[in-house]
Structure 1
C-alpha cells in the first residue's frame, strides 16, 4: 500500500488487482499534496499512464471524503477527448479504476446512437467521457446537466485544437460552473494551449513529467532505406522479421490505407483498417479484432489512430513519413508503453531522406540507419524463433503418447521434423527479395550540430578509373540528362559511380569507377548494348578528346530517346519518319493537298487588298440591340 501513497483507498484496490506495483512518473508527480485543489496543465509523453494519472488526481475532488459514490445523478466530472477511439479507451480505463468506488461512467461520442446516450444520462452518471462535438449536442439539447460539475479534464488538448474543436471546447467550458477543477493534459504546450489554459484555468500549476527530456526511451527507432518501388515489399519483410503480436502501420491518406489492406490481405496477413471513412461500428470492430487476436496488423491514418492503446503492440511502421516531429512521436508512442519495449521503423526512400533526418533531429530521436531485413535474414529469424519455442520443451501428455508412438513407428525422425517445419511455414507469408539501397547516414556524412553537410567529394576522384565509349554523340543530339539514367539502369550502377562525360560529334566518352566496371559490363550482357543501337566499348587509358566545332542543326540526327516505364516517350530517328501533309480542313490523309498554293498578293496592283471606299461615302453602322425585346423562353 505504501507504493500508492496519496491515492484514494477505493482506487488502491483496483490498482493492485490490475498488477500495478509502482506508479509511473507522471502519476507520482500529479499526486503532489500541494496540487490537491489546483488547476493543472500537465505535459507528458504518450504511453506514460496519463489516463490513470488524471483518474487518481480527480478522485478526492469527486468522492469528497467518501469511500464510494452513494448514488448517480448529475455527473461530477467530465473528460473530453479528441477522437471516438480515445474517448472509449478512456472510459474502459476509468471503468476498472473506479469499479470498487461504484462509479457510473457514461460515454457520449459521435457515431453512436444518441438516444441510447440520452437514456443513460437520464438514469444518472458520476463521470461522463465524450468527444467535443457530441458533448456540445447533449448540452444544447438539455440532456447533459453540468450544474454539479466538480472537475473537467481535457485529454490530448493540443490534438483537439489541431482538429478544429476550439469553439466546441470554449462552449463546453463556458457552460460549466466557475468553481471547478480544470486539468489539461497535452504532449506539447504550444501557444494556443497556453492561451486556452490562461482563459479557463485559475492559477494553473504547470506540471512537466520528469524524464520527459528523453523521448521514448523504451522505443528503438530504425530508419530503413528502401527504393520507392520496393517499399511495400520492405514492409512485408519488417512485419515478418519481428512477428509482433500486434503491429500498427501508419499511412498519410485513406487511399494508401485501402491499398495496403488489399495488398497484405493477398499476402496472408490478418489485417484490419482504421481510417476516417469507416463508421464507428466498423472502427470498434477493427480494434476489438486486434485485442482478441483475430487480427495482428492494423493499417491506419493519423487521426483514426490518435491515442489508441493496443495490448502487446510491439511494432509501429511508418509506411509514409509523418508531416512533423510531433506526429512522429505520437505515432511511435503507440508502442513502448508502460515500461514495455517497442520498435518504430521508418520506411525512407532516397527522396525523403532529408525530410526524415530533419524530423528525427527536431524530435530529438536517435535512429539506427539500416537496410530492411532481407529474405535470408527473415528466414534465419524464423529458425531462431522455432528453436527457442517453448513448445519443443513441453513434456509429452499422456493422451498424446499413443499417437506419438504411432507416428514414430511409421515415420523417421527426419520426416517428422520436416513435416513440423513445413506446418509452421505454411501459415506464414514468404519473405520478399529486396533490392538493397544504401545511402550514407547523417553521421557518416559528417553532419555538424546545425545539421549542415560537408562538401561532397568530386566524382572524378576515383582511385581506379575506367573510360568507356558510347556509340552516340552530338550528331544524334545525345544528352547527359537521359544518358545517365540509361547507363545506370542498363549497367546496374548508380550515378555516384559515374565521373566525367565528354561529348563528341560521333561518340561519347564516360568515366566510370573502375571498382564497378566489371559489374557494369556483366550486367550489360555479351552484346554490350545499352538500348537499341547504342553500344558500349571499354577503352584502355584516357581517350584523346578532339576539339570539335558544334554541329549546325541541319547536320544533327536525333538519337533514339529511351522510353519510360509505360513505354511512352520513345523517339524515332529522323530518317525513319514519313512526311505528313494536311488539307484545308486540317485532316491528314497522307497525300498532297489538292488545292494549289495561293498566289501572293501584288501590292503594286493592289489585288487582294481591301478596296477603299471613296471619300464622302456613307459607312453603315452595325445595328445595335437597343430596343429589342428579349426572347421569351
Structure 2
C-alpha cells in the first residue's frame, strides 16, 4: 500500500490485496477501483495497531476508512466471532450521520456475518435494547442515546476492541463532552481509539491526549485540497443586499437541490421564511427543530418536494443528498476548514458541484486570505442581475421544450385540442407565460462598481467612493438631547434596516442631526423608517427621520448662536419654537467637574 494518496480510477486489484477477502469483495461489488487517500492511510503498516487522530474532509470516504482499520484487526479467518458483547462502538453527532455510518458498515461487512445495531434519538429505545441484548458486533449511535443505554445496563462495553469518534469536533461543539467522557471511561484500557475530525481545535487535542496512547496523526486535507469536483465562486455585495443575492443566485443556477449555510438558528429561521414568502420550495434545519421535523425536511428534499435547504453547520452534519449541486455560504465560514467542510456537501461521488461565497464588501480582504490559506482558487464575479437570470430562464425553457418526448395518447389528444383553438405563436406565448409565472422574480441589487479599483478589479477601496452620490436625512434631536454618533448609528441601523457601512457623514447641530445615505438605497431606507415610526412615542420610534430640505451647512447658520462653552443646554421641556419633547432614551449628560485621573 505504498500509494496511500492514490485517486480512485486505477482499475487494479493491487489496492485491495492487503485487505481481508470479504472487505475486498465488498469494495469491488460497490464499484471501488481504488482507495481514497484516507482509506489507504489507515491501513498502512505504521497505522496498524495504533490509536489514530485523522483529519479528512467531508466526502473523502471516512466511514469506509475506519471500517477497514477495524476489519483488519477484528476478522479472524475472514469471519467475525459469534455476536455477543459489542466489539466496536462508533459515536456520531447526529442521527443522520449515525444512520449513514450504519448503512456503510452493513454493506462493507456483509460477507463477514457482522451484526450492526443503531442507537439514536427518534427511534424506539426498547427495540434498541432488545437488539443489544441479542448481541451486536458494531454499535453505532449518538452520544446521548448511547449513554442512556449504558446507564440502564443495556450497553456492555467490557469487550470493546475499538471506539470510533466520528466528527468529534462537532460533538464537542454540540455539548456532548460529558456523554463522551462517560462512554470512554467505561471502555477497556486496551481498546484502540480512532478519532476522526474535520478540524482539530484545542478541545479535540485535549480529548485525544486523555483517551489515546501515542496516537498516530493522519491528515489527508492537503492531498484533497480544494475539492477538485467543486467550482468555487465569490460574489461581493452590499451588506444590506445579502438576501437579494441569495434569491438571484438560486434563480440563476436553478440547482436540483441547493444548501444555504447560516451561522445561527435565528438567521436560518429568518432566511427560510423569506425564501418561502418569495415562492421557493425551501426547508430549514437547525438546532431548534425536532427529530421529526428534521426527518420531514430531509424527506422533502429527497422526494424533490423541496429544492432548497437552509441550515446551520452543525445541523447539516451527516446529510448526504445525491442531487445536491449548489452550496451557498450566506454567512462567511469561521475559517478555511469550515469553508471546505460546508462545501463538501456537494461535488461527491464524481459529480460536479458549485460553492458560492456571499461576501459583504467590507470583508472581502478577510475572505481572500481564507481562500489563499485553503489553496482554493475562487472566481470573483458579480451577482447575476435580472437580465442574466431571464436569459438563463429562456435558454432552459427552450432546452426543455425542444427535448424529444414520447407523448401518451392523452397528451397527443390534448395537444391537438390546443392547436385547434390557438395558433402556434399564441401557444408558444402561453407556454412562456406559464413557465415564467411559477418562477420567483429576481432582485435588483445595489451597484458596487464605484467600489472597484481604477484597473477594474472588484476589490473594495478604503475611501468611501460609494458615498459620492448621497442624500441628506434629518432627525429632530441634536446636541441638546445628548445626540452622539455612538448611539445614533445603532438607532439608524435599527430604524432604517441598514448597516453601519451604509451610513455616511453625520452632522450634529443643536436641535437636529443630519446624516448621509447613498442615493441607491434612499427609497428602501425611507420605507423602513416609515414602517418603524411611532409618532409621539418616548422611545426611539418617536424620533422623526425624514429627507432634509437643506444641507447641514445651511442648517448650521440657523442654529447659531450656540451655547457658551461650558454651559449646559436646557434638556427639560420643549425646545424653543415648539416641537417634540427631548428623546428620553439617550445617555445621561456627563458629570460636572474634572475627569478622573
Aligned to 2:38: 26
Residues 1:392 and 1:577: Cα distance change in structure 2 (over 3 Å): closer
1:49 aligns with 2:61: yes
Select the structure of larger CA radius of gyration: 1
Which residue pairs with 2:75 in the alignment? Answer: 63
Tell me what 1:491 maps to.
none
Query: 1:601: which partner in 2?
Result: none
- List 4+ stretches of structure 1 deviating above 6 A: 441-447, 479-482, 501-504
The verdict on how the C-alpha distance between 1:188 and 1:251 changes in structure 2, with shifts beyond 3 A counting, is closer
* 1:32-111 → structure 2 map (5 Å cutoff): 32-66=44-78, 68-69=79-80, 71-111=82-122
2:236, 2:358 within 8 Å by CA — same for their partners in 1?
A: yes
Aligned-partner Cα distance in 2 for 1:420–1:246 = 25
Aligned to 1:583: none
1:305 matched to 2:316? The reply is yes
- Between the aligned partners of 1:270 and 1:42, the Cα distance in structure 2 is 38
Point out where structure 2 has 5 or more consecutive residues left out of the alignment: 1-11, 474-478, 493-499, 510-517, 523-545, 565-573, 583-597
- The C-alpha deviation readout for 1:126-178, integer Å capped at 9, x for no partner, is 21111223222222221011222222211122223333433433332232223
- CA distance in 1: counterparts of 2:73 and 2:306, whole angstroms: 41
> Deviations for 1:15-73, whole angstroms, at most 9, x for unmatched residues?
3443433332222222324434333222112221111221222222232222x446433
Deviation at 1:278, TM superposition (A): 1.8
Match of 1:370 in 2: 381
Query: Which residue in the other structure is 1:534 paired with?
Result: 550
Matches within 5 A, 1:64-463: 64-66=76-78, 68-69=79-80, 71-209=82-220, 211-212=222-223, 214-350=225-361, 352-353=363-364, 356-357=367-368, 359-360=370-371, 362-389=373-400, 392-397=402-407, 399=409, 401=412, 403-438=414-449, 440=451
**Which of 552, 562, 566 is the aligned partner of 1:553?**
562
CA distance in 2, matches of 1:413, 1:536: 63
Distance 2:140 2:507 in 1: 71
Whether the aligned pair in 1 keeps the contact of 2:361 and 2:460 (CA below 8 Å) is no
Counterpart CA distance in 2 for 1:294 and 1:7 is 42
When normalised by structure 2's length, the TM-score is: 0.73
Q: Which residue of 571, 574, 577 maps to 1:575?
A: 577
Which whole-Å CA distance do the structure 2 matches of 1:48 and 1:168 have between them?
27
Alpha-carbon distance in 2 for matches of 1:294, 1:217:
30
Q: Is the 8 A contact 2:98 2:141 kept in 1?
A: yes
Per-residue Cα deviation, 1:213-235 (whole angstroms, up to 9, x for no partner): 72334333333233344322221
- State the shift of 1:293 in Å: 1.9
Give the secondary structure class of the aligned counterpart of 1:212: helix
Deviation at 1:377, TM superposition (A): 1.4
Aligned-partner Cα distance in 1 for 2:501–2:259: 36
CA distance in 2 between counterparts of 1:198 and 1:347 reads: 38
Is the CA contact 1:86–1:307 (under 8 Å) kept in the aligned structure 2?
Answer: yes
Once the two structures are overlaid, the 10-residue window that deviates more, 268-277 or 361-370, is 361-370
SS at match of 2:160: coil
Q: Check the 8 A contact 2:55/2:196 in 1, yes or no.
A: yes
By how many angstroms is 1:276 displaced? 1.3
- Structure 2 distance, partners of 1:300, 1:139, is 32
Give the conservation status (yes or no) of the 8 Å contact 1:112–1:280: no
SS of 1:534's equivalent? Answer: coil
Match of 1:543 in 2: none
Count of aligned residue pairs for this structure pair: 531
What is the distance in 2 between the residues matched to 1:360 and 1:350?
15
Change (3 A) 1:95 1:426: farther
> Over aligned residues, Cα RMSD in angstroms?
5.2
Q: 1:80 to 1:418 in 2, by over 3 A?
A: same
In 2, Cα distance between the equivalents of 1:373 and 1:234?
A: 8
**Whole-Å Cα distance in 2 between the matches of residues 236 and 578 of structure 1?**
42
Structure 1 contact 315–344 (Cα < 8 Å) conserved: yes
Preserved CA contact (<8 Å) 2:37 2:223: no
Q: Do the aligned partners of residues 9 and 284 (structure 1) sit closer, same or farther apart at CA in structure 2, a change above 3 Å counting?
A: farther
Q: 1:88 to 1:244 in 2, by over 3 A?
A: same
- The 8 Å contact of residues 88 and 162 in structure 2, kept in 1 or not, is answered as yes
Instruction: Name which of structure 1's ranges 185-194 and 281-290 shifts more when overlaid on structure 2.
Output: 185-194
Q: 1:269 to 1:469 in 2, by over 3 A?
A: closer
Unaligned stretches of 5+ in structure 1?
448-452, 471-475, 487-493, 505-515, 521-529, 538-547, 556-571, 581-633
CA separation of 1:418/1:99 partners in 2, compared to 1, >3 Å: closer, same or farther?
A: farther
User: For the structure 1 residues 328 and 396, does the alpha-carbon distance in structure 2 shift closer, same or farther, using more than 3 Å as the test?
Assistant: closer
Q: Deviations over 1:474-529 (max 9, x none)?
A: xx99x9989xxx9xxxxxxx999x99x9999xxxxxxxxxxx99xx9xxxxxxxxx
TM-score by length of 1: 0.69
Query: Larger deviation: 320-329 or 88-97?
Result: 320-329
